[in-house]
Amino acid sequence: MAEKLKIIPLGGLNEIGKNLTVYEYGNDIIIVDVGMGFPDDDMYGVDVVIPDVSYLIKHKDKIRGIFLTHGHEDHIGATPYVLRQVPMALYGTKLTLALVDLKLKEHRIAGVPLNVVRPGDVIRLGCFQVRFLHVNHSIAGAVALAITCPAGTVVFSGDFKVDYTPIDGQVTDLAGFAELGSKGVLAFLCESTN
């Protein structure tokens, strides 16, 4: 019997922030985004709300790495808190990882492998192959991810906008999305505030 792909959101559903999604197939796990949430008005004295990572701690031997879609707090803000409990390699664009690196230095966390990728790059970790696609957003260095495993391909995008005249001249990789669609996609997941 074939394995099943599990997609497990540990944060980011029915809320603003705390974006963290686990992709698990067999003995391999990859994580997309490690965002923080923002405290509600009745959460006195709370500065940061982070996802519950007890599942990651329980399965840390299966985790192959974290892929980051962009550098906003709701997608990278919990990185130092999670890495302190479950150390692993990070993959993201240059700006995204530069913002994460500042957080790691602030929290005095060293030795975390920061792997800079560019749109078009493909990273293989365990049974997963992750392809980075450029998307436009209000911050540079935003990407969508085509996550392929033996079960098929899932496309995940953090925040994005379709902008035909972006200030940097780099438009969303619509051809890349069309190519993925023509090959067949199991699911398309994306950021949606609330």
Are 5 and 151 contacting, i.e. CB atoms less than 8 angstroms apart? yes
Total-model pTM: 0.93
User: Which pLDDT does position 194 carry in this prediction?
Assistant: 47
CB atoms within 10 A of CB 14: 6
User: Which pLDDT does position 95 carry in this prediction?
Assistant: 96
Q: Kindly give the confidence (pLDDT) of every residue in the chain, 194 residues in length, as a single tens digit, with 9 standing for 90 and above.
A: 578 999 999 987 877 788 999 999 999 999 999 998 887 777 777 777 888 999 999 999 999 999 999 998 989 999 999 999 999 999 999 999 999 999 999 999 999 999 999 999 999 999 999 999 999 888 888 999 999 999 999 999 988 888 888 777 888 898 999 999 999 999 999 876 64
The H or E element that residue 104 is part of is: helix 94-106
Tokens of 73: 């707090």
User: Which pLDDT does position 91 carry in this prediction?
Assistant: 98
CB atoms within 10 A of CB 34: 31
User: Which pLDDT does position 1 carry in this prediction?
Assistant: 55
Instruction: Collapse the DSSP code of 120 into the 3-class scheme (helix H, G, I; strand E, B; otherwise coil) and give the result.
Output: coil
Tokens of 65: 């790495």
